[in-house]
Structure 1
Amino acid sequence: MNGAPTALIADDEPLLREVLRRQLAAAWPELQIVAEPRNGLEALEQCEALRPTIAFLDVHMPGMSGIEVAQRIDPRTHRVFVTAFDHYALKAFEAGVLDYLVKPVQPARLAETVARLRERLRREQPALHTESLLQQLAAQLQRPAASTALRWLKASVGPAVRLIPVDDIDYLKSDEKYTLVAWRGDGGKPAEALIRTPLKELLAQLDPQQFQQVHRAVVVNLHAIRDVTRGLNETAEIQLKQRSERLPVSRTFLHLFKAE
């Protein structure tokens, strides 16, 4: 291999990118981090432009999942998936067909991955051919098992704990350390509550046919949308059927609402 190996770290959480960068600096000092894209589309663009030796790809990213990015980049790039959810660590991962790291990344587990990658590079082994497996993983992301799909949320409303049916939720919004849950309560009246579960973790458990991320901080129930109005600078706003507030749609997700 000529020159020092290069790597790209793709994750929409700045703190997680920083932590992995520091861990890699300790575990593999000669590895050069050449880019830190914030979403799947940026990851794809920067992989194509920079051709990194290795791509560390968060499984769940706005715009395009890490699995989808892996399907489209140069097959010579070694791919390592980073996920907060153990249920994506399938038997194929465990068998060494694909490398993965579970958040929070443990130094010992990262050391194992680094050792495998360094050995492959030392032997000049090509990246593994995993197209069929990536297709299976992409399909799993689109169709979560019924047993794992979220059906209820528990939220504190005053002194009581409220069980909120997922179908009644209009949208979810990240609010600093909490997630705002906006749902239709008794008699269909708008109601809100804060929960501690991060928005990203909730999104991974929701049915993608019903709930869609439309902004870095917003996930909306598609059944609750009345219309979508395009704005300037490739943005848009969502008007809900039973609520007055409008939800932003960022450029990354604007393609979801293009007229066919």
Structure 2
Amino acid sequence: MNIRAVIADDERLMREQLRARLAEVWPELEIVAEAKNGIEAVELTTQHRPDLVFLDIRMPGMTGVEAARQIGQLAAGDDDWDGCEIVFITAYDQYAVEAFEQGVVDYVLKPAERERLALTVERIRKRLAQRAASNEAPPVAGPDMQQLLQKLALQLNPGSAPQRLRWIQATVGQSIQMIPVDDVLFFISDEKYTRVQTATIEALIRKPIKELLEELDPNQFWQIHRSTLVNTQAISGVTRDLRGRQLVSVKGHHEKLEVSRSFTGLFKGM
């Protein structure tokens, strides 16, 4: 299997060292591009659609954590690309390493020593092979990744905990109503509006899915499609249709919500 990768680090020497070490321990890996910052990393990922992106956590302008979030949104919105594995490049930090070892992403410790990198590469290759065998997309846009990114963002910027959205101010007919977030069954977006669906109300807001993702609790609301967020507390079941697509049923509503391929891993075993 030909694996393609992008490397992103604001230090040129670190990029060169990582490229050289990867050539030693993973000679068949193809480095298709190198980025000097997070913005370039997102642009190059958009251009090349690699299987793997190495992201330095601390970069000026846009951190690796912010870049990973953007790449997740890119994968969620692209029907022709399932996304990529994320590997963070970091100086030793016990808290971060413990977070990485939850298995959502992998990491490379600076400096990239050959023996340590070989262990990381072994884990990455095994993960890629398992996903290929199960035809499962990487979890780059899944709730586990979102939780990890929020945890790492807090570590980079202590005290910057996001304010969770508790109420939705939405248009219902000719009036504006305040809808408790806990009452929302799901959100579905089109090009201009996002539909807010409760058991009794259908309303419209102008806030896109991307902004909602940043403001809602990722433990409560899962993205299951580039245009759909569902309240996990409202999920009553998951079935498959004749085409093999996963469909989510919600309590108190007849509509079934399609799960795109990028998010099928959320409902393993179905």
Query: Structure 2 length normalisation: TM-score?
Result: 0.49
Give the match for residue 23 of structure 2.
25
Aligned residue in 2 for 1:133: 148
Are 1:117 and 2:117 counterparts? no
Distance 1:27 1:81, change over 3 A: same
Structure 2 match to 1:97: 104
Runs of 4+ in 1 over 4 A off after TM superposition: none
1:59–1:120 CA distance, 2 compared to 1 (3 A): same
Could you list the per-position Cα deviations for residues 79-136 of structure 1 after superposition, in whole angstroms to 9, with x for gaps in the alignment?
0000124245242213333211111122222112111221222231532331121122
Contact 2:5 2:30 in 1 (8 A): yes
Distance change in 2, residues 1:86/1:144 (3 Å):
farther
Maintained 8 Å contact 1:82/1:102: yes
Distance 1:82 1:70 in 2: 12
Secondary structure of the corresponding residue to residue 46 of structure 1: helix
Separation of aligned partners in 1, 2:42 and 2:109: 22
Of 68, 71, 80, the match for 2:69: 71
> 1:112 and 1:18, CA in 2 relative to 1: closer, same or farther beyond 3 A?
same
Work out the number of aligned pairs and report it. 143
Amino acid at match of 2:129: R
Question: What amino acid sits opposite 1:92 in the alignment?
Answer: A
| Corresponding position of 2:114 | 107
Equivalent residue runs for 1:214-233 within 5 Å: none
Distance, in Å, in 2 between the alignment partners of 1:10 and 1:80 is 10
For residues 128 and 106 of structure 2, what CA distance do their matches in structure 1 show? 14
In the alignment, structure 1 segments of 5+ residues that lack a partner are 146-260
**Cα distance, 1:144–1:100 mapped onto 2, change above 3 Å:** farther
Q: Report which structure shows greater RCO (CA 8 Å, sep ≥6).
A: 2
- The 1:90/1:119 distance shift into structure 2, 3 A limit, reads closer
**Correspondences of 1:150-169 after superposition (within 5 Å):** none
CA distance 1:92–1:50, shift in 2 (3 Å)? same
Which ranges of structure 2 fall in alignment gaps of 5 or more residues?
Answer: 76-82, 161-270
CA contact (8 A) 2:96 2:152 kept: no
> Residue deviations 1:142-201, cap 9 Å, x none?
2179xxxxxxxxxxxxxxxxxxxxxxxxxxxxxxxxxxxxxxxxxxxxxxxxxxxxxxxx
- Name the residue aligned to 1:11: 9
SS in 2 for 1:97: coil
For 2:32, what is the secondary structure of its paired residue?
strand
- Aligned partners of 2:41 and 2:67 also within 8 Å: yes
Give the TM-score taking structure 1 as reference length: 0.51
